[in-house]
Every structure is written in structure tokens, then in C-alpha cells.
Structure 1
Amino acid sequence: MNASFQRLMAEATRLTRAGDLQGATAAIQAALGGASAQPASNDSQGNAGPLPSFLDPLGGPDAKRQVWGRSCVIDIEAREVETETQALMQPVPRTGQFITGSHTDSAGTREYKLYVPPGYHGQALPLVVMLHGCTQNPDDFAAGTGMNDAALERDFFVLYPAQAQNANASRCWNWFKHNHQRRGGGEPALLAGMTRDVMKRYNIDPHRVYVAGLSAGGAMAAILGDTYPDLFAAVGVHSGLPSGSATDVKSAFTAMKGGAAAASTGPAPPTIVFHGDQDTTVHPVNGEQVVAASAGAARPELERARSDNGREYTRRIYRDAGGRVIAEHWAVHGAGHAWSGGSARGSYTDAKGPDATEEMLRFFFENALRTGR
């Protein structure tokens, strides 16, 4: 088999995986066309040149068998590429796919659910990582936030890591333990590794990867933004706590009841916070402290309004010196410890508040990862 054929078939496979089916077809056709026997050449007198070796009686039957065998190999390889092309062309159901997976690395093993939108055909798409709260699971969290429904409309992936009960009896992310608050170790490393694994399996836009969470998941989202600002372009924290606000169970309860000083390692990525001002599980002051890690000394612009469903809220917008929005804080008046604007299909939701899912997505897609940050 000649090098040109192998090169063209390899290119056809690459183009298929990239979603360029027209280019892949052209490459296959070029490969098969180049493999065909070339017509005998004519000399200047119009006489036929030497016969191809496989038709030359002096070549003998072995030559014919070699060509026949070569043709079979060509046909088999073409069929293999065609089969792979057909597999990659299989359409995602119109509702998308919600598949189960698992990730293992030196920090441990965690299951996950991944939503693949029906509009995915190999093109680069954003990824939103969603971290559930205590006692929740990916299916519950997806139902309550409606994030899959939003992904269906806008074409982005959603990754829902699942906390293992043997890692925390209430399936809380261990945001309050010092060994789960640093880069390169514990749950932050595991979740970052899981995210990168999904990015390798699918064509995820590396500049548009985001993380959000509720309660303990919100606290872990803040930690991920703090420890992996080179991976996550923006962060959403709902009813959570700032990175480094506790180092053990005792200090966790203290922070949850009255807030605690954050201990971030540097400027956080752009962050949007939602918090009910009647939250008796995680004190609302924690939301203000999360925003402070991103907003710094910026002075907020205030907006007071009422959601379509009835709850009033105060929105604070923080900009950097160049006018870019770097943080938003949504204080939902009268709301408790629940996902604002969420669905009753899931736990810990408040349908009356402004839609946290929609506002987080708006905020996320306004931010792309800045190289060198």
C-alpha cells in the first residue's frame, strides 16, 4: 500500500472526527482514485507503452494475486473508514443525551452525568460544570436547575460530577477540609481532572469552560475558580461560601452561621453570586464575601427589581477599570436556601425568584478565558 493512500485515508479519518464530512468524502475518493490502475501511457508515435506489471504475462500469476490482495486491503480499509464515518454521523437524539461516566485519578474516583446537546456535530462547544449540594445527585440537580433544557436550546455540554457517599455521608463536597482546597490535590484536582477528561473526549472550547454550584457545591465552585483560574473562565456560586472560609467541621459551621474571612490564593475569575437574604443554612454574608474575591475595591452599580414570578431582588454589578463586568451579586429578597427560579422537579428550588440558570449562562457566555491570566 503506497504512502499517498495511507496519508489520504488518515486525513479522511481526521476530517470525519472534526465533523468535516464533505472533506472526508473527498479524501476517501482521492485515495481510492489514486489506488486504481493507471492507463497505459502512449509514446510519441501513439503506440501503447509497456503493460502494467499486473497485466504483463511475464509478471506471472503471483503478480495478479498481489494486485488482487492489494485491492482487497484497499477495499477493507475504505470500508473501515466508511463505518467509522457512519458511526460519527449518527445523530444525537433531538432531546440530547444524558450519559453516565466515571473518572479516576490519584485523588480518587467519582461518577458523573454528562449532557450532550443534539446540536453537537464535532464542533467546539462550551462546557458548564454543575456541582450539586448536600443530599443531592446529578439527576436531581439537573431537574431542579433546568440546565439541560437550557443546553438543549443553546448547544453546550453540561457535566454533573457526583459526590460519593463514602467520601461524605451526606454527599457534600468537602469544601471545608484543608486538603480539599488546594490545586493539585483532593477534590479540586479530581474535579479539574474530570473536566479535562471530558474536554479530551469531546470537542470542548477550552476558552469557554465554566463551573457553578449550589450550597456545598457553590463553595467548591468558588474553590475551583480560586485554584484553577486557567481552566474555568467564570464561576457561579449559589448559596455558597468563599474559598478557604473553613478548614474543618467546626469552622465550617461558624462560617455558615455568620461568615468568615476568605483565604483565596489570588484574583478569582469573573464570578456571579445568587443568595437568598432569608437563607438560614448559609448566612447571606457569605455571598458578599464570595463577590469580594472577584470585585476587589470596585464600587457596585445597584439595580432593584422584581422577578416575573414575584420575588424582589437587588443586583450589584462590579466593573474593572476598563468597564468590564467582573462580578455580579444577586440578593434575592425573601428567598431561603434554594436555587432561584428553579423547578419543583428537583430539591432545594425556589420558583418565585429570578432565573439563576439564565442569568448565570448570560454571565458565563459574556466571559471567555483570557490567556496569560
Structure 2
Amino acid sequence: MNNDFTAALGRAMEHTRAGNPAEATRLIQAALTGAPAPAPAPAPAPAAKAKAAPPAPSVKPGAKAPIEDAEIISETPPRRGPMAGFAMPSGLGQGGVDLQQMLGKLGAMSPQGLNGLPQGLTGLPQGLPGSGKTPAIPEGACYETRHFTSKHGARDYRLFVPSSLPDGPKGLILMLHGCTQNPDDFACGTDMNSHAERHGLILVYPHQSRAHNAQGCWNWFRPEDQRAASGEAALLAALAREVRAEFAVPEGAVYAAGLSAGGAMAATLAATHPELFGAVGVHSGLPHGAAHDMPSAFAAMRGQPNGSITKTQGSVRMIIFHGSADATVHPSNAKALFASTGAGAHGKPRRETGTTKANRSWSRDIVKTPDGKVVVEAWTITGAGHAWSGGSPDGSFTDPSGPDASAEMVRFFMG
């Protein structure tokens, strides 16, 4: 990152702390596009009885910022829903975004961080803070917190077991939340528990805490977490194996689904553990190998991958969802995911189109094997941003307009 860019971000943070998000947005827009910063907007006159804001704590060169600056992006949660936060200008996103989270992710690009914040402040920043809600549990079903430990690390996780499994579970889905989310928030937003109850599925919601990434992101961009025998990919595969063995889940009926950073990690699991996962669902994510460090991760999110995308192997099928107006993870990543499956070897995809009851248009490209087995579905939701399609407003980062990604993923997994 050049000095001008770093300086622009520093000025943006100063304006944010001073309560002037509009000017901070203008500075970010100029920094992202490489254009000269727009002329500053005139500062409003202070209110007659307003108290002066306390000065921001100074940070010596090379020193870390206070812990509250490093890990608390926003003490006051922004408004909930797809339009949370203030609206961004053209070119900076649609649907609004919390500015301080935007600054946090931009700061993580710098080797020193923004204003001295520690490197790796965030992996794949996105969305709103976790909703703080607990999903409704069907009568007789189990939804409990557990802890898993392996040689690759340890994580807490939520386990959902349907109220009735007369013939045993039909499958297991590893549900990988996005940044700033948590298992309960993700369960609320996707409403996947309801689908699991109907279809006899075990759900595992691993928790990526801020002890492992400052924004709770799965570290999809780090080489040590992209390998079959180490890091988070190995940890998540080991967790899936343990729960599969406990509940006697049939072979080939273990799946993974994720949003954003979680979607990117689901794609990594398809590439690193094709013998374990029968299919994966990637919502607003990126292909395995699209990045190898923080700068390349941010480039990949902009649609400029400079990593080495790895094709999936074996028989891992993939269903992909991406909004055409996603300003956090560029929609070109969905095309790269599609290509990574090697589906082109089966011929040209068939395209279908439709419109939801909420008047949201969509298209999907379907590729089948010669014997009629669907190996990849790629859904593009027109006008949708960085949010779980068809999700519930009870969770963060959802777009209730549909189509219902949860229902379609379950159908795809069990098809």
C-alpha cells in the first residue's frame, strides 16, 4: 500500500471518530479508485452547547493501537437488515455498510495496519454484528454447545439434531458462518434448522472466535489453513468426521455450506478433502487458492485474484450463490468457482431463469454428467448484495427477497 493510500485511510478514520462519516466515505472512495481525493466538504458549525470530542489516543510509530481500537470496530451496532448503516456513494457498494467496519478491513491491508492497528485485523470483512438471538428449536430437537479438540486446534460449535431420526440421519451439513457472525446468528439468518428438522439432517455450526481472527473470519486466505493436513481446513474436516461417526451418517452424505469467508472455506474443504465431502454450498464466497495472504485476499475480493486457484477433485459437487450487486466479494468469483469445479468437461451448462414472489430475478447455470447427475449449479441473483439469499431478518447479512438458498442447498445436497 502506498503512502498516499495509507494517509487517506488515516484521515478517513479521523473523520469517522469526529462524527463526519460522509467525508470519511469520500476519502475511502478516492483511495479505492486511485483518484485524487475530492475536495473536503465544509465542516458544519458546532452546536452552541456541544462538548468538544476527547482527543483520539496518540500512537507512537511502530506501536500498537490500544486494544479497544484494535478489536472493537463499532461499539454501537448499526441498524439491522440489508440497508444497515449509511448508504455508500456509487462505486463503493449498494445497500449500505458500516463505515468503521469498512475502515477496519482496509486497514488490515497495510503491513502495519491502519494507524498502527495490528496486521490481520480481519480476513474477509462483511456484514453486521451478530444478532444476539438464539434460533427457535423444534420441540424435541437438540441444539447444544459442544467443544472439539484435535491436533489441528480446537473450536466450540453448536450441534443441531432433529427431533426424530427413525431411520438415522440423512446427512450432515457443516455450516460455516461469515465474518462478525456466530453460530446462533448464522442459524437464525439461514433458518437451516427448520430444513434440517424436515429432512433429517445433522447440523454442525463451528464457531470461529475473535481469538483466531479479530473479526471472527475463517482464515481462507492463509496457506497454512488451505491444506488437507494442517490448519483450519484439517480442523474442520476432523470435526465433521467425529460427528459423522457419532451419528452414523451415511458415507457421501457429509456436506459443507458457508457465507463469504465461510463460503471460501467450504470451497477449500471441497479441494482439500474430496473423499469426505459429497457436496458443498458456497454463498458469496471465493475459490480455493484465490489468495495467499492479506493483500492478495483483498485483491481477490475485488475480482483481481493473483493466487493459484485449485480445481476440486474427485466427485465433490458444488452449488454457488452470488448477488450480481455484491460490492464486498466481486461476482466474478462465482465464475471462478464454477470453473474450478471442472464442470466444463461435461459440456455447456443449461441456463434457467425465474422471479421470486418478492419480484427478485435470478438465473442458474446447471451442468449434468452424461447419466443426468447434477454436478454444479451456479445461481446469480439480480440486484442482490452481500447477503444470504432468502434468509431471515432475525439474522445478520440476509436478503429475504430470495430465492431461498437454504432450501436449494438442501435439495442439491440430497439430490
Fold equivalence (TM over 0.5): yes
Residue 175 (structure 1) aligned to one of 220, 227, 235: 220
Residue 339 (structure 2) aligned to one of 292, 295, 300: 292
Residue 196 (structure 2) aligned to one of 151, 159, 162: 151
**What secondary structure sits across from 1:313 in the alignment?**
strand
Partner residue in 2 for 1:219: 264
Q: Deviations over 1:157-182 (max 9, x none)?
A: 11101102111000100000011111
Q: Distance in 2 between matches of 1:158 and 1:301?
A: 31
Partner residue in 1 for 2:401: 352
Residue 354 (structure 2) aligned to one of 305, 308, 327: 305
Partner residue in 2 for 1:5: none
Partner residue in 1 for 2:101: none
Q: Which amino acid is 1:169 matched to?
A: A
Deviation, structure 1 residue 310? 1.9
Deviation, structure 1 residue 125? 3.1
Deviation, structure 1 residue 308? 2.0
Partner residue in 2 for 1:364: 413
Partner residue in 1 for 2:14: none
Deviation, structure 1 residue 106? 1.2
> Structure 2 stretches of 5 or more lacking a match?
1-136
- Kindly indicate whether the alpha-carbon contact (under 8 Å) linking 2:169 and 2:202 is maintained by their aligned counterparts in 1: no
Q: How does the TM-score come out when normalised to structure 1?
A: 0.71
Q: Distance in 1 between matches of 2:369 and 2:359?
A: 32
Q: Distance in 2 between matches of 1:265 and 1:178?
A: 17
Residue 321 (structure 2) aligned to one of 274, 278, 281: 274
Q: Distance in 2 between matches of 1:194 and 1:162?
A: 12
Deviation, structure 1 residue 291? 1.4
- Kindly indicate whether the alpha-carbon contact (under 8 Å) linking 1:311 and 1:353 is maintained by their aligned counterparts in 2: yes
Higher relative helix content: 1
Partner residue in 2 for 1:263: 310
Residue 251 (structure 1) aligned to one of 271, 280, 296: 296
**What secondary structure sits across from 2:251 in the alignment?**
strand
Deviation, structure 1 residue 200? 2.3
Q: How does the TM-score come out when normalised to structure 2?
A: 0.64
Q: Distance in 2 between matches of 1:310 and 1:199?
A: 39
**What secondary structure sits across from 1:317 in the alignment?**
strand
**What secondary structure sits across from 1:182 in the alignment?**
coil
Residue 109 (structure 1) aligned to one of 154, 163, 166: 154
Q: Distance in 1 between matches of 2:200 and 2:313?
A: 32
Deviation, structure 1 residue 331? 0.2
Deviation, structure 1 residue 263? 2.4
> Structure 1 stretches of 5 or more lacking a match?
1-91, 367-373
Deviation, structure 1 residue 258? 1.1
Q: Deviations over 1:280-328 (max 9, x none)?
A: 0000010111111221343111111101222100111112233321100
Partner residue in 1 for 2:368: 319
Q: Which amino acid is 2:340 matched to?
A: A
- Kindly indicate whether the alpha-carbon contact (under 8 Å) linking 1:95 and 1:152 is maintained by their aligned counterparts in 2: no
Q: Which amino acid is 2:220 matched to?
A: W
Deviation, structure 1 residue 259? 4.1
Q: Distance in 2 between matches of 1:265 and 1:359?
A: 21
Q: Distance in 1 between matches of 2:330 and 2:300?
A: 8
**What secondary structure sits across from 2:263 in the alignment?**
helix
Q: Which amino acid is 2:143 matched to?
A: F
- Kindly indicate whether the alpha-carbon contact (under 8 Å) linking 1:225 and 1:268 is maintained by their aligned counterparts in 2: no
Q: Distance in 1 between matches of 2:171 and 2:371?
A: 25
Q: Distance in 2 between matches of 1:246 and 1:358?
A: 30
Deviation, structure 1 residue 121? 4.9
1:86-235 mapped onto 2 (5 Å cutoff):
94-121=139-166, 123-235=168-280
- Kindly indicate whether the alpha-carbon contact (under 8 Å) linking 2:274 and 2:313 is maintained by their aligned counterparts in 1: no
CA 355–256 in structure 1, closer or farther in 2 if over 3 Å, else same: same
Bigger Rg, which one: 1
